[in-house]
Amino acid sequence: MKNENIIEVKGLRKIYKTGKLEFEALRSVNFTIAKKEFVSIMGKSGSGKSTLMNILGCLDTISHGEYILDGENVAGLSANRLATVRNQKIGFIFQSFNLLPKLTAMQNVELPMVYAGVKSSVRKKVAEEALDRVGLHKWFHHRPNEMSGGQKQRVAVARALVNKPAILLADEPTGNLDTRSTEDIIAIFQQLNKDGATIVIVTHEPEVAEHTKRTITFKDGQIISNEIIENQQIATYVPPDDWQD
Protein backbone atom coordinates (compact mmCIF):
# COMPACT_ATOMS: atom_id res chain seq x y z
CA MET A 1 0.00 0.00 0.00
CA LYS A 2 1.34 3.39 -0.92
CA ASN A 3 2.30 5.63 1.94
CA GLU A 4 0.03 8.68 2.00
CA ASN A 5 2.52 10.67 4.05
CA ILE A 6 4.48 13.21 2.05
CA ILE A 7 6.75 13.94 4.98
CA GLU A 8 7.88 11.67 7.79
CA VAL A 9 10.33 13.02 10.32
CA LYS A 10 11.67 10.76 13.08
CA GLY A 11 14.08 11.72 15.84
CA LEU A 12 15.32 14.65 13.82
CA ARG A 13 18.15 16.65 15.38
CA LYS A 14 20.04 19.56 13.92
CA ILE A 15 23.24 20.63 15.55
CA TYR A 16 25.05 23.77 14.44
CA LYS A 17 28.73 23.92 15.15
CA THR A 18 30.35 27.33 15.35
CA GLY A 19 33.95 26.85 16.26
CA LYS A 20 33.94 24.81 19.45
CA LEU A 21 30.39 25.78 20.30
CA GLU A 22 27.61 23.39 19.48
CA PHE A 23 24.01 24.49 19.30
CA GLU A 24 21.14 22.10 18.95
CA ALA A 25 18.54 23.96 16.92
CA LEU A 26 16.19 20.96 16.56
CA ARG A 27 15.95 18.41 19.31
CA SER A 28 14.33 15.07 18.55
CA VAL A 29 11.52 16.24 16.34
CA ASN A 30 8.88 13.74 15.15
CA PHE A 31 5.91 14.45 12.93
CA THR A 32 4.28 13.49 9.66
CA ILE A 33 2.51 15.47 7.01
CA ALA A 34 0.01 13.67 4.88
CA LYS A 35 -0.98 14.36 1.31
CA LYS A 36 -3.30 17.37 0.81
CA GLU A 37 -2.63 18.73 4.27
CA PHE A 38 -2.25 22.46 4.88
CA VAL A 39 -0.06 22.88 7.93
CA SER A 40 1.21 25.99 9.65
CA ILE A 41 4.31 26.04 11.82
CA MET A 42 4.51 28.58 14.59
CA GLY A 43 6.84 29.47 17.39
CA LYS A 44 8.92 32.24 18.81
CA SER A 45 11.89 33.64 16.98
CA GLY A 46 14.82 31.28 17.24
CA SER A 47 12.65 28.26 17.97
CA GLY A 48 13.99 26.45 14.91
CA LYS A 49 11.23 26.97 12.33
CA SER A 50 13.49 28.07 9.48
CA THR A 51 16.00 25.39 10.36
CA LEU A 52 13.24 22.81 9.99
CA MET A 53 11.94 24.31 6.74
CA ASN A 54 15.42 24.31 5.20
CA ILE A 55 15.77 20.67 6.11
CA LEU A 56 12.32 19.80 4.78
CA GLY A 57 13.23 21.71 1.61
CA CYS A 58 16.44 19.69 1.23
CA LEU A 59 18.46 22.90 1.39
CA ASP A 60 20.09 21.71 4.57
CA THR A 61 20.99 18.32 5.96
CA ILE A 62 20.06 16.72 9.24
CA SER A 63 22.50 15.79 11.99
CA HIS A 64 20.60 12.81 13.36
CA GLY A 65 17.36 11.01 12.68
CA GLU A 66 15.36 10.28 9.61
CA TYR A 67 13.63 12.35 7.00
CA ILE A 68 11.50 10.57 4.43
CA LEU A 69 10.18 12.76 1.65
CA ASP A 70 7.56 11.29 -0.63
CA GLY A 71 8.74 7.79 0.23
CA GLU A 72 12.46 8.53 -0.24
CA ASN A 73 14.96 8.75 2.59
CA VAL A 74 16.79 11.95 1.76
CA ALA A 75 19.30 11.82 4.62
CA GLY A 76 22.69 11.08 3.12
CA LEU A 77 21.92 11.97 -0.49
CA SER A 78 24.69 13.67 -2.47
CA ALA A 79 24.51 17.42 -3.10
CA ASN A 80 23.67 16.91 -6.77
CA ARG A 81 20.99 14.38 -5.93
CA LEU A 82 19.49 16.76 -3.35
CA ALA A 83 19.37 19.47 -6.03
CA THR A 84 17.33 17.16 -8.20
CA VAL A 85 15.02 16.35 -5.29
CA ARG A 86 14.51 20.08 -4.69
CA ASN A 87 13.80 20.55 -8.36
CA GLN A 88 11.31 17.71 -8.67
CA LYS A 89 9.57 17.44 -5.32
CA ILE A 90 9.74 20.78 -3.60
CA GLY A 91 8.29 24.19 -4.24
CA PHE A 92 9.95 26.62 -1.86
CA ILE A 93 8.56 30.08 -1.17
CA PHE A 94 10.70 32.55 0.77
CA GLN A 95 9.88 35.54 2.89
CA SER A 96 12.10 37.73 0.70
CA PHE A 97 10.73 36.31 -2.61
CA ASN A 98 14.19 35.42 -3.94
CA LEU A 99 13.42 36.23 -7.57
CA LEU A 100 16.34 36.78 -9.95
CA PRO A 101 16.29 40.55 -10.54
CA LYS A 102 17.58 40.44 -14.11
CA LEU A 103 14.95 38.00 -15.30
CA THR A 104 11.32 38.74 -16.18
CA ALA A 105 8.44 37.11 -14.32
CA MET A 106 8.18 34.54 -17.11
CA GLN A 107 11.89 33.75 -17.06
CA ASN A 108 11.87 33.43 -13.28
CA VAL A 109 8.96 31.02 -13.41
CA GLU A 110 10.62 29.04 -16.19
CA LEU A 111 13.82 28.48 -14.23
CA PRO A 112 12.87 25.29 -12.33
CA MET A 113 11.79 23.81 -15.66
CA VAL A 114 15.13 24.79 -17.22
CA TYR A 115 16.86 22.71 -14.55
CA ALA A 116 14.40 19.90 -15.19
CA GLY A 117 15.38 19.94 -18.86
CA VAL A 118 11.93 20.91 -20.14
CA LYS A 119 12.02 22.26 -23.66
CA SER A 120 11.44 25.93 -24.26
CA SER A 121 7.99 25.81 -25.88
CA VAL A 122 6.56 23.67 -23.08
CA ARG A 123 8.23 25.89 -20.49
CA LYS A 124 6.55 28.97 -21.90
CA LYS A 125 3.13 27.37 -21.88
CA VAL A 126 3.42 26.02 -18.33
CA ALA A 127 4.87 29.29 -17.02
CA GLU A 128 2.01 31.26 -18.57
CA GLU A 129 -0.55 28.97 -16.99
CA ALA A 130 1.14 29.25 -13.59
CA LEU A 131 1.27 33.05 -13.77
CA ASP A 132 -2.37 33.07 -14.86
CA ARG A 133 -3.23 30.96 -11.88
CA VAL A 134 -1.81 33.56 -9.48
CA GLY A 135 -3.50 36.36 -11.39
CA LEU A 136 -0.45 37.81 -13.11
CA HIS A 137 -1.41 37.35 -16.76
CA LYS A 138 -0.56 40.99 -17.51
CA TRP A 139 2.85 40.80 -15.85
CA PHE A 140 4.67 38.16 -17.86
CA HIS A 141 7.42 40.42 -19.11
CA HIS A 142 7.96 42.65 -16.10
CA ARG A 143 11.01 42.40 -13.97
CA PRO A 144 10.81 42.05 -10.16
CA ASN A 145 11.76 45.69 -9.55
CA GLU A 146 8.65 46.77 -11.43
CA MET A 147 6.37 44.81 -9.12
CA SER A 148 4.86 45.19 -5.66
CA GLY A 149 5.77 42.80 -2.87
CA GLY A 150 2.50 40.95 -3.26
CA GLN A 151 3.04 40.54 -6.97
CA LYS A 152 6.60 39.32 -6.47
CA GLN A 153 5.41 36.74 -3.98
CA ARG A 154 2.79 35.58 -6.47
CA VAL A 155 5.55 35.15 -9.07
CA ALA A 156 7.43 33.09 -6.48
CA VAL A 157 4.33 30.96 -5.87
CA ALA A 158 3.94 30.42 -9.63
CA ARG A 159 7.61 29.44 -9.80
CA ALA A 160 7.15 26.96 -6.94
CA LEU A 161 4.26 25.30 -8.78
CA VAL A 162 5.62 24.65 -12.28
CA ASN A 163 7.39 21.33 -11.65
CA LYS A 164 4.29 19.96 -9.85
CA PRO A 165 6.14 19.39 -6.57
CA ALA A 166 5.04 16.91 -3.92
CA ILE A 167 4.94 19.70 -1.38
CA LEU A 168 4.91 23.48 -1.17
CA LEU A 169 7.07 24.89 1.63
CA ALA A 170 6.73 28.56 2.54
CA ASP A 171 8.89 30.20 5.21
CA GLU A 172 7.00 33.28 6.40
CA PRO A 173 5.63 33.96 2.90
CA THR A 174 3.59 36.92 4.14
CA GLY A 175 6.24 38.31 6.46
CA ASN A 176 7.07 41.15 4.10
CA LEU A 177 3.52 41.80 2.90
CA ASP A 178 0.70 44.16 3.88
CA THR A 179 -2.67 42.76 4.98
CA ARG A 180 -4.23 43.00 1.52
CA SER A 181 -1.39 41.08 -0.14
CA THR A 182 -1.27 38.64 2.76
CA GLU A 183 -4.94 37.87 2.24
CA ASP A 184 -4.31 37.33 -1.49
CA ILE A 185 -1.45 34.91 -0.90
CA ILE A 186 -3.39 32.98 1.72
CA ALA A 187 -6.35 32.79 -0.66
CA ILE A 188 -4.07 31.38 -3.33
CA PHE A 189 -2.68 28.80 -0.90
CA GLN A 190 -6.19 27.78 0.10
CA GLN A 191 -7.19 27.42 -3.51
CA LEU A 192 -4.07 25.36 -4.32
CA ASN A 193 -4.74 23.17 -1.27
CA LYS A 194 -8.32 22.69 -2.40
CA ASP A 195 -6.94 21.64 -5.78
CA GLY A 196 -4.86 18.98 -4.02
CA ALA A 197 -1.57 20.64 -3.05
CA THR A 198 0.18 19.75 0.19
CA ILE A 199 1.36 22.93 1.88
CA VAL A 200 3.48 23.78 4.92
CA ILE A 201 3.88 27.41 5.92
CA VAL A 202 5.81 29.03 8.72
CA THR A 203 4.17 32.10 10.18
CA HIS A 204 4.27 34.40 13.16
CA GLU A 205 0.75 35.63 12.62
CA PRO A 206 -2.10 33.68 14.30
CA GLU A 207 -4.52 35.12 11.69
CA VAL A 208 -2.52 33.42 8.97
CA ALA A 209 -2.32 30.15 10.92
CA GLU A 210 -6.10 30.20 11.36
CA HIS A 211 -6.43 29.79 7.61
CA THR A 212 -4.55 26.48 7.65
CA LYS A 213 -5.88 23.10 8.77
CA ARG A 214 -3.32 22.22 11.44
CA THR A 215 -0.73 24.11 13.47
CA ILE A 216 2.51 22.70 14.81
CA THR A 217 4.10 24.91 17.44
CA PHE A 218 7.81 24.88 18.24
CA LYS A 219 9.72 26.02 21.26
CA ASP A 220 13.48 25.73 21.65
CA GLY A 221 13.77 23.23 18.85
CA GLN A 222 11.01 20.97 20.06
CA ILE A 223 7.33 20.53 19.18
CA ILE A 224 5.17 21.73 22.04
CA SER A 225 1.80 21.38 20.37
CA ASN A 226 0.25 19.86 17.25
CA GLU A 227 -3.39 20.86 16.84
CA ILE A 228 -6.09 20.54 14.21
CA ILE A 229 -7.74 23.90 13.60
CA GLU A 230 -11.42 23.61 14.45
CA ASN A 231 -12.91 26.33 12.31
CA GLN A 232 -10.63 27.17 9.43
CA GLN A 233 -10.93 30.76 8.24
CA ILE A 234 -11.47 31.36 4.57
CA ALA A 235 -9.53 34.15 2.89
CA THR A 236 -11.45 36.32 0.47
CA TYR A 237 -10.36 35.59 -2.99
CA VAL A 238 -10.05 38.85 -4.86
CA PRO A 239 -10.53 38.33 -8.61
CA PRO A 240 -7.26 38.59 -10.52
CA ASP A 241 -8.28 41.73 -12.42
CA ASP A 242 -8.58 43.68 -9.18
CA TRP A 243 -5.00 42.76 -8.31
CA GLN A 244 -3.44 44.71 -11.07
CA ASP A 245 -4.06 48.29 -10.13
Site track 15-54 with Mg ion (rule: CB under 5 A), x = hit: -----------------------------------x----
Name which of 84 and 222 has its Cβ closer to another protein.
84
**Does 49 interact with ligand ATP (rule: CB under 6 A)?**
yes
Least CB distance from residue 35 to ligand ATP, whole Å? 25
Least CB distance from residue 196 to Mg ion, whole Å? 27
Binding segment for ligand ATP (CB under 6 A), chosen from 46-54, 96-104, 124-132, 149-157, is 46-54
If one counts every other C-beta atom within 10 angstroms of the C-beta of residue 100, the result is: 12
Task: Choose among another protein, ligand ATP, Mg ion, none what residue 173 binds, the Cβ cut-off being 5 to 8 Å by kind.
Answer: none
On whether the CB atoms of residues 156 and 98 are closer than 8 A, the answer is: yes
**Does 47 interact with ligand ATP (rule: CB under 6 A)?**
yes
Rounded to whole angstroms, the maximal C-alpha distance in the chain is 56
**Does 224 interact with ligand ATP (rule: CB under 6 A)?**
no
Binding segment for ligand ATP (CB under 6 A), chosen from 29-37, 39-47, 84-92, 137-145, is 39-47
For residues 226 and 229, give the distance between their C-alpha atoms in angstroms, rounded to a whole number.
10
Least CB distance from residue 17 to ligand ATP, whole Å? 8
Q: State phi, psi for 213 to the nearest 5 degrees.
A: -100, -15
Least CB distance from residue 50 to another protein, whole Å? 9
Least CB distance from residue 25 to ligand ATP, whole Å? 4
**Whose CA is closest to 91, among 77, 70, 67?**
70
**Whose CA is closest to 27, among 59, 65, 75?**
65
- E-state strands within the chain: 5-18, 21-34, 38-43, 64-69, 72-73, 90-93, 167-171, 199-202, 214-219, 222-228
Contacts of 129 (CB under 8 A, 6+ apart): none
On whether the CB atoms of residues 177 and 183 are closer than 8 A, the answer is: no
Least CB distance from residue 49 to Mg ion, whole Å? 5
Q: For residues 27-86, which are near another protein according to CB under 8 A?
A: 54, 57, 59-60, 79-80, 83-84, 86
DSSP line for 48-76: SHHHHHHHHTTSS--SEEEEEETTEE-TT
Q: Which residues bind another protein (CB under 8 A)?
A: 54, 57, 59-60, 79-80, 83-84, 86-88, 92, 94, 98-100, 102, 111-112, 114-120, 159, 163
Q: Which residues bind ligand ATP (CB under 6 A)?
A: 16, 18, 23, 25, 43, 45-51
